[in-house]
Structure 1
């Protein structure tokens, strides 16, 4: 059985920032009473998603 615990989304940070910087904005939504270990796991997941998907797509291939 699976249930939705939180939502992780990539937020639009503005046209200029999107075009001229490599910075990304992510949002995390979760219940306030969620266990602190689960919150830490979600935060780590955001870094992993950013690195594995968005950063590897931006890096030039050699």
Structure 2
């Protein structure tokens, strides 16, 4: 599902970025940095944070 229409990023893109990171990603800005993108309007921040807080994502780091 697309969670960022500004950058056309899906929930899978965010999960892949978190799983492939060598460090724990704790913020939306860190996820976007990992993806090589910038946050534009910020409406996706809540969805990205929700993904970061998922149990399987929290156990990755």
TM-score above 0.5, yes or no: no
Which has the larger strand fraction? 1
TM-score computed with the length of structure 2 as normaliser: 0.39
Structure possessing the higher radius of gyration over alpha carbons: 1
